[in-house]
Amino acid sequence: MERQPLQTPGHQPENSGGSLRSLILKQFRNYGHAELEFKPGLTVLLGPNGQGKTNILEAVHYLAFLRSFRTRQIKELIRFGADGFQLQAGLAAAVAESGADRLSVTFGRDRRLFLNGAPMDKGSEFINQFFCVAFIPEDIELVKGPAAERRRWLDMLTGQLDRSHLRDLHAYNHALKSRNAILRQFGKFDAGSLDAYDQLLARHGAAVIQNRRQTVGRLASCALADSAVLVNGTLEYEYLPGLPKSDPSASADDHPAAGGDDAPSAIQGRKLQEAYLEMLVQNRSRDLRDGVTVWGPHRDELVIRLSGRLLSAYGSEGQCRASALWLRVASARILREYTASPQAALVLLVDDVLGELDESRRAAFWDQIQGGGTQIFFTCTAIPPSLTGRVTQTLHVSAGVVSTGG
Amino acid sequence: MASSGSYPQALEELILSLRRLPGIGSRTAERLALAMLDWTAHDLELFGAQLANLKKRLRFCDSCGNLSEAPLCRICSDPRRQTDVICVVEQAGQIPVFERAGCFRGLYHVLGGRIEPLEGRGPGELRIEALRRRLEGGQVRELILATSPDVEGEATAAYLADAFRGLSVTISRLASGIPVGADLGFADSATIAVAINARRTVGGGSG
Ligand SMILES: [Zn+2]
């Protein structure tokens, strides 16, 4: 069923150029009311700093994921003095996953979602109507930050291709919290309750592990060959599920392990679920003693090495930034390569991440992400030479007002 | 937007009571209360009596835990029902949903909730022992677990399947024609019918 990955740039699959055609922002950040029309291709958002360029990227990101890339505080998105915001997007017809071409979010007392004007209750069904990848300075945390940053990145990417991943992840987290509550109130809850929640944890936990491992496998196959255009050296990725080593001679403590062929990391499907369940039962007395579930995908790690050395420990600032940028390039490739709906719009948001690159690498970056119907929004204070001949539309941003004129 | 103090006290109190109902906001509560002002005194008295008698006349069925006016509910005392199949639901309010679907002719068992560790609700607070006694009576051949398809509902179903594994009862789980995370109370009859007919065995004997 799975298509073979790896396409060389220049051989992008044919794409109808599905894209974001319009965006309306009301009382969002520094925008009172702005209506924007977009052309397919590369749109430059041009203007001095602090005028609201990034806010437009943030609005697009919010429509794609129902979350900002800068804050978890929804209040920060509401214009000062207003009591809510509204965002609306128009997509080129039939490029959305659901077939909808109008998305709308209003956030007042509560959040209301509309697809083609019809209200929608669940955020989990609303998100990912179009594929979106943001390139932002904070991405360096993907490389230098704690494992949770890489898990979140893996989960967002995996969830874009497979909605069921986010359902499994949500169910896993809920079952994990529930099991921990049982561990702390054992007596009120019997062993049968623990057995029951163990089954739920194994079902959803095994699915989460399997999905994440698949995405890392795609990352490795998609992204190895061309990363050299941005990063000096070879990038390698290793997925380490948060499961104990199966080797009994290994210490049962603390370090999640990769393991050999019969380790939980290498097995799939029902067998993984069974091994997972057995692992929970084996660790039950320890979990009961500590009042917390020790092992599971909440401890997964994605190890990134550059030419054999752990990037987060040994990489320079420049190497880490370039590698983080590459992770986003690879995300876009994986979405394009593995989507079940080739019509889907792919929208890239590029904000202030090219500072460390020299001109030739900047050109290489644009070569990597442009074409194949991909729509790109790029913020800058002046159009750099590397963009010559690539721009299809320039919008001038000044104090919350967007204009097409120069 | 709020109604604080803008109406006479009698009306204000009624609005506050109505607001306690699920799905009723302050605006709707005001509209309902004002509409009742147009009712005749007789209709209002009747309505008041209905409310006053609600808990006096209603009790729980001794056998299945359904709402009832007699010791046995209408379903348990209906001689035409199949007595060898029991459908386990979380709340009595879910029984009418299955009844409207019209394709289930067996009996029910109301658990009175589900195992919810995050709410501190353990299996001891559910009517599980009453269900065990019914199963040990020997008449029941099949148990259908119709708990909701979210984490707690699935865990409760797994708990029951394990608890009754030793009995010679076939245990099945509703197939998920029901949207994940959906409230059974809102599922339409066609969906319920599909879910019942496509249930899958999750454990138990086959005798
Ligand atoms: Zn009854």
Q: What is the pLDDT at residue A225?
A: 66
- Which of the four pLDDT bands, split at 50, 70 and 90, describes residue B191? low
Q: What is the pLDDT at residue A260?
A: 40
Statement: the pTM of the whole predicted model exceeds 0.90: no
pLDDT digit string (tens) for A288-303?
999 999 999 999 999 9
- Which of the four pLDDT bands, split at 50, 70 and 90, describes residue A98? low
Q: How far is CA A240 from the centre of its chain?
A: 19
Name the percent of chain A lying above pLDDT 90: 69
pLDDT digit string (tens) for A143-191?
999 999 999 999 999 999 998 899 999 999 999 999 999 999 999 999 9
Q: Cα–Cα distances in Å, from A29 out to A53, A116, A267? A: 11, 24, 47
Structural domains of chain B sorted by starting position, each given as residue range(s) with its CATH number in brackets: 9-57 (1.10.8.420), 60-204 (3.40.1360.10)
- Helix, strand, or coil here: B107? strand
* DSSP letters spanning B57-100: H-EE-TTT--EESSSS-TTTT-TTS-SSEEEEESSGGGHHHHHH
Is the pLDDT score of A44 beyond 50?
A: yes
Mean pLDDT (whole number) for A96-103: 73
Name the percent of chain B lying above pLDDT 70: 83
Within 8 A of A199 by CB-CB distance, chain B residues are 155, 158
The better pLDDT of the pair B138, A134 is held by: A134
Min distance A196 CA to chain B CA atoms (Å)? 5
Contact B49, B58 (CB under 8 A): no
Question: Mean pLDDT score of chain B, rounded to an integer?
Answer: 87
Is the pLDDT score of A340 beyond 50?
A: yes
Sign of the C-alpha dihedral computed for residues A300, A306, A312 and A314 taken in this order: positive
**Chains A and B: how many Cβ contacts under 8 Å?**
58
CB contact under 8 A, A181 and B152: no
pLDDT digit string (tens) for B42-91?
999 999 999 998 889 899 999 999 999 999 999 999 999 999 999 999 99
The better pLDDT of the pair A10, A337 is held by: A337
Question: Mean pLDDT score of chain A, rounded to an integer?
Answer: 87
What CATH class does A142-313 carry?
A: mainly alpha
Using a CB cutoff of 8 Å and minimum separation of 24, what contacts does A172-175 make?
Answer: A172/A201, A172/A204, A172/A205, A172/A207, A172/A208, A172/A296, A172/A297, A172/A298, A173/A298, A174/B151, A175/A200, A175/A201, A175/A204, A175/A205, A175/B151, A175/B155
How far does the centroid of ligand 1 lie from the alpha carbon of residue A388, in Å? 78
- Which of the four pLDDT bands, split at 50, 70 and 90, describes residue B189? low
Is the pLDDT score of A10 beyond 70?
A: no
Is the pLDDT score of A7 beyond 70?
A: no
Is the pLDDT score of B98 beyond 70?
A: yes
Mean pLDDT (whole number) for A110-138: 91
**Type of residue at B45:** E
Is the pLDDT score of A276 beyond 90?
A: yes
List residues in chain A touching B: CB distance below 8 A. 122, 167, 171, 174-175, 177-179, 181-182, 185, 188-190, 192-193, 195-197, 199-200
The pairing of beta strand B142-145 with beta strand B170-173: parallel
From-to residues of CATH 1.20.1050.90 in chain A: 142-313
pLDDT digit string (tens) for B15-32?
999 999 988 888 999 999
Q: What is the pLDDT at residue A261?
A: 40
Is the pLDDT score of A208 beyond 50?
A: yes
Superfamily designation of domain A20-130+344-403? P-loop containing nucleotide triphosphate hydrolases (3.40.50.300)
Give the lowest-confidence range in A314-318, A327-331, B152-156, B180-184. B180-184
Name the percent of chain B lying above pLDDT 90: 70
Mean pLDDT (whole number) for A135-146: 95
CB contact under 8 A, A167 and B163: no
Q: Cα–Cα distances in Å, from B143 out to A217, B97, B134, B204? A: 43, 18, 11, 9
Q: Which of B151, B162, B202 to mutate to test the interface with A (most CBs of A within 10 A)?
A: B151
Is the pLDDT score of A380 beyond 60?
A: yes
From-to residues of CATH 3.40.50.300 in chain A: 20-130+344-403
Give the lowest-confidence range in A146-150, B158-162, B189-193. B189-193
**Helix and strand tally (H, E) in chain B?**
7, 7
Nearest residue, CB atoms, A177 vs list B118, B123, B163 = B118
